[in-house]
Structure 1
Amino acid sequence: MKRILVTGGAGFIGSHLCERLLNEGNEVICLDNYFTGSKENVVHLLDNPYFELVRHDVTEPYMVEVDEIYNLACPASPVHYQYNPIKTIKTSVMGAINMLGLAKRVHAKILQASTSEVYGDPAVHPQPETYWGNVNPIGQRSCYDEGKRCAETLFMDYHIQNEVKIKIIRIFNTYGPNMNPNDGRVVSNFIVQALKGEDITIFGDGNQTRSFQYVDDLVEGMIRMMNSRDGFWGPVNIGNPVEFTMLELAEQVIKLTQSKSKIIHLPLPQDDPTQRKPVIELANKELDGWEPKIALEEGLIKTIAYFEQVLIKKGELKK
């Protein structure tokens, strides 16, 4: 049994990771300040004697004896990370410093949940890990993009200077149950709007592309990365290389929800990437043949069922 710390553990991805780690027989400490995470995501785990839930902000130091750390703490949707940009960059940078300091002291292995946003609005397509990105350092998205880029730098420096055992993954668009209905991300937006029969809002002409991976595929990749060989620290892309336009996604959601929603177009936000698709050869090679298993339609069906229950519970949808 390993003792594992998951920062941001009550969030969308963190809650799935905590459950998987518990199911594999580990002791899990879930750290979250509930800015975007929710106790509801992990309340079903509280009866497990090997699960501990702690309210804490990673911008403050935290002391605990652990074997592994998954550093997920940071708001990840534009609505939330632009709400308080200074706090966002503090979470990425100071949170990384605090967790790396902890890993150094207790000799824990630590994984950084970085992001495809480090590639910015890419001039190279699809994006391999060797691409350095095209990021605006002073734009609306910079607090997140540059915060995550700086965190990667810190991880490498702690590894080189202090021999901390690090792992870095770059997460591409992920969706699934436990997403916040109001997080402003495209999958949750489209599903909630379709279920309510509201207009589906697409920014720009809808021909910009994304690659969507279901959360279970991501969690599998994260655990394989943590357990990968000692000489491999990444960064490694974890994402689905199957590309869809926003229009294709909207039409798929309308079809699966049997909604009468209409598609409307709004102006494209500043620095919004026009295309995003991972090269996953490195993950496939280093992580025991990892690749996404769950197709978009299958994942959307599961996610739609989750959002139906959430909206019914909130009284925003009738049974």
Structure 2
Amino acid sequence: MSQIKVGVIGASGYVGSELIGILLKHQNVTIAGISSGNNKDKPFSDLYPSFIGQFDQLFEDNESVMNKSEVVFLCLPHGQSEQLVKQCIDEGKKVIDVGADFRLKDLDVYEDWYHVESHYPDLHEQAVYGLPEMNREQIKKTSLVANPGCYPTSILLGLYPAVSSKLANPSSLIIDAKSGVTGAGKKLSEATHFVTKNEGFNAYKVASHRHTPEIEEKLNQMGANDIKISFVPHLLPVNRGILSTMYMDLETETDLDSIHALYEEWYTDEPFVTVLKNGLWPDISHVQHSNQCHIGLTVDERTNRLIVVSVIDNMQKGAAGQAVQNFNIMLGIEETEGLAMVAPSF
């Protein structure tokens, strides 16, 4: 396969830098251009010195990057991708939007939660939600992938077998999730200053996080029947990683071995999802810097409740890694290309 010319718009943020690191190892990719709103004409390695001598490419403007590229990754805050995506699609390019602009099919819900107006409903209808374990066949055929949010990725992978198999009652679902501070993005805030976060641990955006409607919409597509979830995110004093714990009432008395067998069969051919043996529990350190998702399960027999724990690296499977996984599927490349990372052992 000839080299595919790829552009990264918004490459100066955490997700953009993570994406560059992956693409440099991808044997089918040439990075044709990168952009940053505030860093035009500066070398990428000025912002990320670990890339000195490895990737010193200069930031350009968006237009130049799009013109040079066959496939464009957009790593922008919500509300900033739509017009650029429209231009790329009109010019016959493939797009992976790592932001939130195309994740929700219900535009009224999107505008209500994100407080931005959408202008291209047909484009939103065309977009495919880029959770490969759920939508792989649609991803193969589309030119526009909406990369999932980080929390939804860990949560949906943890719940997909149980919800789709009607194993548990989704209306009883409670989600407790915890993320490292890179999930908040590169822009500083009072909540993410070192002296605030170090040795701290807090819930935030309780029952109001913008990933809530994304989780609900995709669970409903799995067969959850218009549920409303209770979702509480927390901020961990670590750089990266997400651990999500989900609780649901079982529809019938079902033993753990049967549930474990269901999950193992569901994910048996998935290269990036591992269902741990009974008695083992996921740890964010075990997936760090990898595109892996680890899932642990148990049944609380006293309450007849299923408990699922799912972990991912929010910068990898929760963002840049999953974006490259979607890129590989779209282009007919081996799905694991560029993503063969194992978490460090210490």
The bucket for the TM-score relative to the shorter chain is 0.3 to 0.5
Q: Which of these two proteins has the greater Rg computed from alpha carbons?
A: 2
Greater share of residues in strand: 2
Q: State the TM-score, normalized to the length of structure 1.
A: 0.43
Q: State the TM-score, normalized to the length of structure 2.
A: 0.41
